Amino acid sequence: MINIDESNFEDKVLKNSKPVVVDFWAPWCQPCLRFGPIFEELSKSRNEVFVKLNVDEHPRIASQFSVMSIPTIKIFKGGKIMGEVVGSLDKESFSKKIDGILK
Protein backbone atom coordinates (compact mmCIF):
# COMPACT_ATOMS: atom_id res chain seq x y z
CA MET A 1 0.00 0.00 0.00
CA ILE A 2 1.29 3.45 -0.87
CA ASN A 3 0.39 7.06 -0.24
CA ILE A 4 -0.39 8.89 -3.44
CA ASP A 5 -0.44 12.56 -4.40
CA GLU A 6 -1.04 14.77 -7.40
CA SER A 7 2.26 13.78 -8.99
CA ASN A 8 1.48 10.06 -9.18
CA PHE A 9 -2.34 9.78 -9.01
CA GLU A 10 -2.76 9.40 -12.76
CA ASP A 11 -0.08 6.69 -13.12
CA LYS A 12 -0.88 4.76 -9.93
CA VAL A 13 -4.69 4.95 -10.17
CA LEU A 14 -6.08 6.01 -13.53
CA LYS A 15 -3.54 4.22 -15.76
CA ASN A 16 -3.17 1.11 -13.60
CA SER A 17 -4.11 -2.16 -15.32
CA LYS A 18 -5.32 -3.63 -12.01
CA PRO A 19 -8.32 -2.45 -9.97
CA VAL A 20 -7.26 0.26 -7.50
CA VAL A 21 -8.89 0.88 -4.12
CA VAL A 22 -8.34 4.50 -3.02
CA ASP A 23 -8.84 5.58 0.60
CA PHE A 24 -9.57 9.33 0.74
CA TRP A 25 -8.77 10.26 4.35
CA ALA A 26 -7.35 12.91 6.71
CA PRO A 27 -5.23 12.57 9.87
CA TRP A 28 -7.76 14.45 12.06
CA CYS A 29 -10.66 12.16 11.04
CA GLN A 30 -11.35 9.64 13.82
CA PRO A 31 -13.38 7.23 11.62
CA CYS A 32 -10.51 7.36 9.11
CA LEU A 33 -8.00 6.46 11.81
CA ARG A 34 -10.16 3.54 12.98
CA PHE A 35 -10.58 2.31 9.41
CA GLY A 36 -6.89 2.66 8.49
CA PRO A 37 -5.73 -0.66 10.00
CA ILE A 38 -8.62 -2.51 8.30
CA PHE A 39 -7.68 -0.95 4.95
CA GLU A 40 -4.02 -1.87 5.47
CA GLU A 41 -4.82 -5.44 6.52
CA LEU A 42 -6.98 -6.02 3.44
CA SER A 43 -4.28 -4.54 1.21
CA LYS A 44 -2.06 -7.47 2.20
CA SER A 45 -4.61 -10.19 1.48
CA ARG A 46 -6.33 -8.99 -1.71
CA ASN A 47 -5.16 -8.72 -5.32
CA GLU A 48 -6.27 -5.13 -5.94
CA VAL A 49 -3.87 -2.21 -5.55
CA PHE A 50 -4.59 -0.26 -2.34
CA VAL A 51 -3.55 3.39 -2.04
CA LYS A 52 -4.26 6.27 0.34
CA LEU A 53 -4.76 9.95 -0.47
CA ASN A 54 -4.70 12.63 2.24
CA VAL A 55 -7.50 15.05 1.29
CA ASP A 56 -5.99 17.89 3.34
CA GLU A 57 -2.75 17.73 1.36
CA HIS A 58 -4.45 17.12 -2.01
CA PRO A 59 -7.86 18.82 -1.99
CA ARG A 60 -7.91 19.24 -5.77
CA ILE A 61 -8.03 15.48 -6.35
CA ALA A 62 -10.66 15.02 -3.63
CA SER A 63 -12.77 17.73 -5.27
CA GLN A 64 -12.22 16.30 -8.76
CA PHE A 65 -13.71 12.99 -7.60
CA SER A 66 -16.53 14.56 -5.54
CA VAL A 67 -15.32 13.43 -2.13
CA MET A 68 -17.72 15.17 0.27
CA SER A 69 -17.06 13.23 3.49
CA ILE A 70 -14.33 10.95 4.76
CA PRO A 71 -13.42 8.22 4.86
CA THR A 72 -14.51 7.67 1.28
CA ILE A 73 -13.22 4.67 -0.61
CA LYS A 74 -13.41 4.77 -4.41
CA ILE A 75 -12.67 1.73 -6.53
CA PHE A 76 -11.19 2.41 -9.96
CA LYS A 77 -10.79 0.00 -12.85
CA GLY A 78 -9.52 1.02 -16.27
CA GLY A 79 -9.39 4.65 -15.15
CA LYS A 80 -13.09 4.73 -14.26
CA ILE A 81 -14.83 4.74 -10.88
CA MET A 82 -16.60 1.41 -10.46
CA GLY A 83 -18.09 2.21 -7.07
CA GLU A 84 -17.54 3.76 -3.68
CA VAL A 85 -17.98 3.20 0.02
CA VAL A 86 -18.55 6.17 2.30
CA GLY A 87 -17.80 5.68 5.98
CA SER A 88 -15.98 3.06 7.98
CA LEU A 89 -16.79 -0.65 7.71
CA ASP A 90 -15.51 -3.79 9.38
CA LYS A 91 -13.05 -5.95 7.44
CA GLU A 92 -15.55 -8.58 6.26
CA SER A 93 -18.18 -6.04 5.14
CA PHE A 94 -15.58 -3.97 3.30
CA SER A 95 -14.16 -7.01 1.52
CA LYS A 96 -17.68 -8.03 0.42
CA LYS A 97 -18.35 -4.49 -0.85
CA ILE A 98 -15.20 -4.62 -2.98
CA ASP A 99 -16.25 -8.01 -4.37
CA GLY A 100 -19.72 -6.70 -5.18
CA ILE A 101 -18.39 -3.60 -6.93
CA LEU A 102 -15.86 -5.50 -9.03
CA LYS A 103 -18.20 -8.32 -10.16
| Residues annotated as part of the active site | 29, 32
H or E stretch covering 25: strand 20-25
H or E stretch covering 64: helix 59-64
Whole-angstrom distance between the N-terminal and C-terminal Cα of the chain?
22
Amino acid at 18: K
3-class secondary structure, 31: helix
Q: What's the CA angle centered on 98, arms 84 and 54, to 5 degrees?
A: 50
